[in-house]
Amino acid sequence: MSGFPRGATAIIGAATHGIGKAPGFESADLAAIAASRALAEAGLAASDIDGLFVCHPTDTMSGLSFAQYLGIHPKITENNRTGGSAFELYVEMAALALDAGVIDAALIAYGSNQSTATGKLISTSGPNAYEAPYKPLNPVSSYALAAQRYMHEYGATKRHLAEVAVAARKWAQLNPEAVKRDDLTIEEVVEARMISDPLGKLDCCLVTDGAAAIVMTRADRARDLAAKPVYVLGAAGATTHRDIACMPDLTRTAAADAAARAYQAAKVGPSDIDVVELYDAFTINTILMLEDLGFCPKGEGARFVEDGAIAPGGRLPVNTNGGGLSCVHPGMYGLFTLVEAVRQLRGEAGARQVDGATLALAHGNGGVLSSQAVAVLGTDAAL
Amino acid sequence: MSETGPDAAFQAHLKSGRFMIQRGRASGRYVFYPRAIEPGTGADDLEWVEASGRGTVYSTTVVRKRPPEPSYNVALIDLEEGPRMMSRVESVAAEDVQIGMQVRARIIVEDERAYVVFDPAGGAA
């Protein structure tokens, strides 16, 4: 066995739909419309899909429901629920199944109408009996506990967290699809209403509607179907816990483990990556992930983001769509990092395009820093 | 041999005034939250032992409510025996709870369920 099939599969369709508010549509409708657009890009019909990978905010049998909605009978139906990281894991599983010849075309989809339906983040699992008596405001409080510990160990400040939010906003201002595009200053983030110390309102991701979908096939077929296939060079996931009290070290996530395996599969390292799309559910995530994904040593993430270093024109393009903080966050965001990575690698990103991007990293985070997944994607120049 | 599951046993101990955690007989390792088997080894030899009640604040946050509803503390406490648990530190203002603070367990009962909170070990600050 040779491990992950580097470059053997490719993304040939990628689409979003309903970002912001999509009144009048159910979550499955939004996912279906995004899927239809991704299929159209790929030149495939729904009936060509024999591997379905799908998540829904509340329907835990969404694999069955969505196959029914699409009118298809897939050979593989998968709805692993590792929170927002599920989609990078779907890419990994789809690549393995495609390479093995078990399936020929995979659809990965997600949609949520949470903003118009409830106005808040939808939780898909009940409270832990050993946390519930203390009434943490989850997920915010769990991330706040990580942020507090990180600040204690490494001397980071609320201004460092604010740098992340402001950089995300500056990218969002270049993205017509982004929900929040008005000007934002460090001071506004620092002074925003505190939610769970040290995280204030503007340290938290948006609550929006939105859907996304990607279509994958084997690389040989991809070259016939897509103008510019985006190859899956490596993908891996890892988990350390479900509940924050069981996370071994609140400043070190499983992304370090996942990224090491994804880079090894892709035969690249962090210094080769042109554009980073990581899951910024809260500002602390970006700092932790820049470290754990290998872009700077542990403890230096806060200093790494200073002075607009991850904003447009900075040293490393991070979350070029505006991220979960300023573009879109419909409950699970992990599929949107993949779509933005694809758009950057195809050169379709307009005003926010990173010149000459050939290698991108898409990251997903699930639970409360619990599940971490990484996909390394590249153009044919990266093969 | 008790037929009581781990959560029910933990609750029964708390209601009798004892903060009990589990320990693997073979490994000697302490376990929290209560489980039917030992994490890591999978061994089914967990026994109940009384926790010292001594702990250290590993991290802390204040859940902010709009007044007049009071804001409150949520903390992660490293027990002297090793395991970490979510709890809150009382007898001190929520925002004055500090990482590294030495704390002591106290059992309270609310809505039929007992649970463990902590106070600063040196008494109220």
How confident is the model over A200-218, as pLDDT tens digits? 999 999 999 999 999 999 9
Determine the average pLDDT of the residues in B89-95.
97
Nearest to A215 by CA among A68, A17, A45, A6: A45
Determine the average pLDDT of the residues in A35-50.
98
Measured distance CA(A265)–CA(A158) in Å, rounded: 36
Report chain B's mean pLDDT, rounded to a whole number.
Answer: 95
pLDDT digits (tens, 9 = 90+) for B76-87: 999 999 999 999
Q: Which domain holds residue A73?
A: 9-119+209-229
Task: Kindly report the CATH class assigned to B54-120.
Answer: mainly beta
Residues from chain B that touch A196, judged by Cβ atoms under 8 A, are 61-64, 74
Q: Do both A171 and A64 map to the same domain?
A: no
Residues from chain A that touch B88, judged by Cβ atoms under 8 A, are 134
pLDDT at B108 over 90: yes
Contact B61 A245 (CB under 8 A): no
Q: Please enumerate residues of B whose Cβ is less than 8 A from a Cβ of A.
A: 7, 32-33, 58-64, 72, 74-76, 84-88, 95, 99, 110, 113, 115
Select the residue of A130, A146, A152 nearest B33 (Cβ to Cβ).
A130
Contact A136 B85 (CB under 8 A): no
pLDDT tier, B124 (very low <50, low <70, confident <90, very high otherwise): very low
In contact, A271 and A122? CB cutoff 8 Å: no
Measured distance CA(A104)–CA(A106) in Å, rounded: 7
Q: Do both A242 and A363 map to the same domain?
A: yes
Report chain A's mean pLDDT, rounded to a whole number.
Answer: 96
Contact B64 A193 (CB under 8 A): yes
Residues from chain B that touch A130, judged by Cβ atoms under 8 A, are 32-33, 85-86
- ipTM comes to 0.96
- End-to-end CA separation in angstroms for chain A: 20
Residue A279 lies in a domain: yes
Q: Do both A182 and A112 map to the same domain?
A: no
Determine the average pLDDT of the residues in A58-85.
96
Contact A197 B61 (CB under 8 A): yes
Determine the average pLDDT of the residues in B64-84.
97
In contact, A374 and A361? CB cutoff 8 Å: yes
Q: Which two tokens stand for residue B96?
A: 């004055």
pLDDT tier, B123 (very low <50, low <70, confident <90, very high otherwise): low
Domain ranges of chain B: 6-50, 54-120
Q: Do both A154 and A273 map to the same domain?
A: yes
pLDDT tier, B1 (very low <50, low <70, confident <90, very high otherwise): very low
Which single residue is written with the structure tokens 């706040």? A144
Q: How many domains does chain A have?
A: 2
Q: What is the pLDDT of residue A2?
A: 66
CATH code of the domain containing A194: 3.40.47.10
Residues from chain B that touch A198, judged by Cβ atoms under 8 A, are 61
Q: Do both A296 and A315 map to the same domain?
A: yes
Nearest to B22 by CA among B32, B12, B13: B32
